[in-house]
Structure 1
Amino acid sequence: MRKILNLIYIPMLLLGLSGCEDFLTVESPDQSTSGNYWKTQSEALSGLSAAYSQLYYGGSWEFHELKFVFEPFREDVVEMGKGASSYGYMTSIYNFSYTMTSSTPASIWSYNYWGLSYSNQVIDKVSAMDPAVFEQGMQERIIAEARFMRGYYHMVLLMNWEKIIVREKYITSESDIDKALSSRDYAWDFIMKDFEYAATKLPMTRGDSDKGRVTSATANAYLGYAYLTRAYEEPTRKDEFLTSAVEVLKPENFVGYSLVPMNKWIGMFDGSNENSVESLLEVQFSPTTSGNAYYKHQTQYWVASSELGGWEGILPSDMLFNEFKKEGKISLMGRYDSRLYSTLWFKDDYFNGSPEKVWDWNYDDLFEVNKPVFRKYLPVKYSGMSTYETAMNIILMRYANVLLMRAEAYNELNHPELAKPLIDEVRARANMPGMKGSSQAEVRAQIEHERIVEFALENYRFYDLRRWGKAESALAAVGRKFNPATNNFFFTPQGEIDSNGQIKK
């Protein structure tokens, strides 16, 4: 996707949910319009770039204030840091006191609808282009890629709102704008069809020039995630959806992907091992600024504690720290789980020079007390904190998740014996011995543990808890109140209700 990002951005692709280019009169001869733009393959790829662009949530401060407040603040593995506690719109997410008028959910709603509208335009316009202007198979691949992105944006919305507006087509008239909320099963069906289509049309892997662009493996990973989520939502079809999850998450659909070695694990989160063999989807940031390009963010400041020169917006909870240590020092290295040392910095001889430090300092020289802080998403060297913005990629889906999702599906189908080898594969990478126990309940508990320590700060925990029906009890265990009836999903934004005649109340 680095290649895509360098292509021209088309400001006319979308004018928001309230209108579009096709029914506006634009007569300036030096301005691009839908009628004179979609003529070449490079223009189609540029349109596809715009479809990807909403993954950035605006970049800079908007990215961390949306992505890293919206999701982790609803989890029990994090605590709100002092850098966030004075901002009401952030505390409302952490305290589950948000309303229909809360700005953060409304922004997420808008960005994802922009993204799927860009995607719809690519599907519509590229489908109508002359096939002769494309390289072999490229027209079909661009459409499939746009369909994946449309499915992805719809899925983000459906994971966070109980009912959403499914936008099946590119809006070409004002009469298309007002649209009712769709039923949840209709929305899931639509999303899964887009993922299925992309999985059949896209290549399994990408070359270096196209690193970061979605693949059939990406589509299958998200299709598997959709099946797994839906299995719990629709108990009468649970086995059907679990069986489908096992099928789409099978190894044959992920040829060329594998777990990175543990010494490169942290590289997936500090910029030193981007687009690795484990990566299935990551937001592609870039230091490039030519042509008014802007693909940077400030997540490193948001995550870093004050002792490390950061804003301390987010901290690991005691629950997370204790979860890492619960099995004791049983790793093959004679220490705790290796993922602990790559996820957190904490008071330990390990970070006092035996064998590592916190950047160039002993932990004890920076922290007066034992204060675990996130290491994940911080730069390799302290010098990386001197740059106001960073271009480190943010990973969204990786192969470890494929293994653990497949393990969960097997286990819920009463095959813990098939789940255990997948769990142990993830543990072995972290220098951990095979799991103890073999019953369905023991495997279920182990899967939860592995998902906590493997994906801390990767924003899966809330969705896991809700899927398992454990959000209320898990948050209560860390002293937070959660009401599933009102907090499982966000409210439809007031702005959408006020402007959409089909859902006005």
Structure 2
Amino acid sequence: MKKNWLSYMLVSALLSGALTSCSDSFLDLKDRNHFTNENFWQNKADAESALATAYSPIKYQMNGYYGAFDGWLNLNSRGDDIFTILNEEASMWDIANFQNSATTGNDPYGALYSGIQRANIVLKYIDDVPASGITESDRITIKGEALTLRAYQYFLLVNNYGDVPLRLVPSSEDDPNKTASPAAEVWQQIEKDLLTAINDGNLPENRPAEQKGRIEKGAAIAILGKVYVSQYKYKEAKELLKGFINSSYSHFGTTGKRYQLMENFVDNFTTANENNAESVFELQYSSDGDLTWGNESGINLGSSLAQFIGPAKSGGWAKLMPSAFLVSEFTEETRGNRPTIQDENGDWVTNPDKKAQPDSKYDKRIYASLFFTPDEYGDWVSEENGWYDGKFYGGLFTMDDLWTGNASKMAGGAPIFNVRQASGGAQVGKFLLKKYTAHYVKSKSADNMGNPEGKANNVRIIRFAEVLLLYAEACAKEGDVVEANWALNQIRQRAGLPEKECAQSELMKEIEHQCLLEFFGEGHRFDDLKRWYSTLQIQAIFKENDKQGASNFREKHKYYPIPAGEINNSSVEQNSLWK
């Protein structure tokens, strides 16, 4: 897939320029060495190349919605599960502290409209491809894929900006002075696009290896489920997601259906297990290309996440840390007692009568999410593959190495991690962000963008775990305690936690807890809080959890302001909350 995606991306800049400038004089040109609508839409390969460009604004290496710089950093910095390092990026700091404005940093608003424009172009011109160049089945599939991409990028826009212009045809045919549509109309169009793609789009349920990363039917359904939940349409979400789960889900370790939770949580965040059975929508990155900073130049196709968030000792920039609140939630629930006994010499040995005892003290997800030294907190887990060099103790980097390597970063402030102890009281600890670092690469500079394996790691946008937790939320809101507990216990079982039966009054608290731990560092937390709580409630939660800038949080901060550059060059008005 990654080699094919590379070839698609190489035409991206040409397509985005040539196919968005549809003047009559341009279309009159006959030079076959240049793309025009007249000479381009000849076969399936042309249509798929155009379609590929609609993905790139989501995944731009630096400034895409999930790009490392103004994407990933900002998505995560607004949540109370992340501590943002002072004096790193001015725009990120302003957003983390809710002091941002319409001129803060770069913004994905324009990039998302580029993706929508490209999807609109495909939908407009796909029917120009002659029957000799494409089967009708493939034509319909490409339309379904383009509709899903358009819907998803509109979802990101309306969820982050509120009222936005609704453009359903290429810009050359649209009103250049179009103003924003009410959010309700945008939501309605998103649902329409997704329902058409699901019901009539001929989307495959499982793509072959060389097509992984492209929209499948499951991705369209999961996105629609998220759209329903985001609008509190819980009845529709429950029905949709129940059908999806029943038709596609098998428990880890079983086969026969498309999706399942991976038994090992870390398999969702390494290059070795990309496009696995848990992945519903995954952005493809590659080690191909030179070390450059850019978006879609065709030169750098790698991800920069490890560079931005990895520890300084391993070549990263360490711009984010886990919050003390997050660590306290991760260590709140333990799995049981240590499976050992003392022999006659007073040494601890394996207890043969306690083979069923847990293999770690804490929730299994903590070991894939955070760097820390388990035995300092009474844990007995062994990380066989270790960090960076394959050795957990006495190897290339100890936790003290990583911590002191970040000392200059933390000089302006860092969380104080108070870990509860069984004997009572708390112990001050050391924890760093591990998820999406290249800790699995055997290199002293694994997190540096120059490391090919680290930069090739895909970003999992929608995992089946999210489908299960969205379903649990919909069931809880619809009063279906049995199904909500079933979904929650699928998540708990994978985390190594005992089964738990929550009463109706306890369900949302458990759902919130599981979402926090499951999606830590994946940019979910802020949107979840925005969906579940009022502005005053969110501010109170932020204050209780020592979120940076908690006192600054206001209703307007539920949204990004529309960038000043967009306001100055169009008829779009600023979101009313930001005027």
* Same fold (TM > 0.5): yes
Q: Structure 1 pair 353/204, CA: closer, same or farther in 2 (3 Å)?
A: closer
- Once the two structures are TM-superposed, the CA of residue 63 in structure 1 deviates from its matched residue by 2.3
Q: C-alpha distance in 1, partners of 2:48/2:239? A: 32
Q: Tell whether 2:525 aligns with 1:461.
A: yes
Question: SS at the partner of 1:203?
Answer: coil
Partner of 1:272: 272
Q: C-alpha distance in 2, partners of 1:459/1:405? A: 16
Q: C-alpha distance in 1, partners of 2:193/2:371? A: 41
Preserved CA contact (<8 Å) 1:246 1:410: no
Q: How many residues align?
A: 489
More displaced stretch, 443-452 vs 60-69: 60-69
- Once the two structures are TM-superposed, the CA of residue 304 in structure 1 deviates from its matched residue by 1.2
Query: Higher helix fraction: Structure 1 or Structure 2?
Result: 1
Structure index of larger Rg: 2
Q: Which runs of 4+ in 1 moved over 6 A?
A: 350-353
**What letter matches 1:148 in structure 2?**
T
Partner of 2:545: 478
Q: C-alpha distance in 2, partners of 1:274/1:168? A: 33
Q: C-alpha distance in 2, partners of 1:35/1:137? A: 23
Q: Structure 1 pair 503/28, CA: closer, same or farther in 2 (3 Å)?
A: farther
Q: Percent identity?
A: 25
- Once the two structures are TM-superposed, the CA of residue 24 in structure 1 deviates from its matched residue by 6.0
Q: Tell whether 2:246 aligns with 1:251.
A: yes
- Once the two structures are TM-superposed, the CA of residue 354 in structure 1 deviates from its matched residue by 3.6
Partner of 1:54: 57
More displaced stretch, 332-341 vs 56-65: 56-65
- Once the two structures are TM-superposed, the CA of residue 99 in structure 1 deviates from its matched residue by 1.1
Q: Structure 1 pair 477/248, CA: closer, same or farther in 2 (3 Å)?
A: farther
Question: SS at the partner of 1:6?
Answer: helix
Q: Tell whether 2:422 aligns with 1:416.
A: no
- Once the two structures are TM-superposed, the CA of residue 481 in structure 1 deviates from its matched residue by 2.6
Preserved CA contact (<8 Å) 1:471 1:482: no
Partner of 1:370: 429
More displaced stretch, 140-149 vs 328-337: 328-337
The two structures have a TM-score, normalised by structure 2, of 0.79
Counterparts of residues 88-487 of structure 1 (less than 5 Å) = 88-104=90-106, 107-135=107-135, 137-173=137-173, 176-200=175-199, 201-231=202-232, 238=233, 240-247=235-242, 249-252=244-247, 255-262=257-264, 265-289=265-289, 292-330=298-336, 332-349=358-375, 354-356=382-384, 357-360=386-389, 361=395, 362-367=398-403, 370-379=429-438, 380-383=440-443, 384-385=446-447, 387-388=449-450, 390-435=455-500, 437-469=501-533, 470-479=537-546, 480-487=550-557
Preserved CA contact (<8 Å) 1:245 1:406: no
Q: Tell whether 2:89 aligns with 1:87.
A: yes
The two structures have a TM-score, normalised by structure 1, of 0.90
- Once the two structures are TM-superposed, the CA of residue 355 in structure 1 deviates from its matched residue by 4.1
Q: C-alpha distance in 2, partners of 1:420/1:352? A: 30
Preserved CA contact (<8 Å) 1:77 1:317: yes
More displaced stretch, 66-75 vs 459-468: 66-75
**What letter matches 1:496 in structure 2?**
E
Question: SS at the partner of 2:207?
Answer: coil
**What letter matches 2:542 in structure 1?**
L
- Once the two structures are TM-superposed, the CA of residue 31 in structure 1 deviates from its matched residue by 1.5
Structure 1 residue aligned with 2:78, among 74, 79, 82? 74
Preserved CA contact (<8 Å) 2:55 2:115: yes
Q: C-alpha distance in 2, partners of 1:364/1:433? A: 32
Preserved CA contact (<8 Å) 2:234 2:475: no
- Once the two structures are TM-superposed, the CA of residue 411 in structure 1 deviates from its matched residue by 0.7
Alpha-carbon RMSD: 2.6
Q: C-alpha distance in 2, partners of 1:353/1:183? A: 52
Q: C-alpha distance in 1, partners of 2:237/2:447? A: 44
Structure 1 residue aligned with 2:67, among 47, 63, 66? 63
Q: C-alpha distance in 1, partners of 2:436/2:524? A: 16
- Once the two structures are TM-superposed, the CA of residue 293 in structure 1 deviates from its matched residue by 4.5
Preserved CA contact (<8 Å) 1:224 1:249: no
Q: C-alpha distance in 1, partners of 2:561/2:243? A: 32
- Once the two structures are TM-superposed, the CA of residue 184 in structure 1 deviates from its matched residue by 1.1
Q: C-alpha distance in 2, partners of 1:94/1:188? A: 27
Preserved CA contact (<8 Å) 2:63 2:70: no
- Once the two structures are TM-superposed, the CA of residue 370 in structure 1 deviates from its matched residue by 3.3
Preserved CA contact (<8 Å) 1:352 1:364: no
Q: Tell whether 2:30 aligns with 1:22.
A: no
More displaced stretch, 93-102 vs 141-150: 93-102
Partner of 1:491: 561
Q: C-alpha distance in 2, partners of 1:420/1:353? A: 28
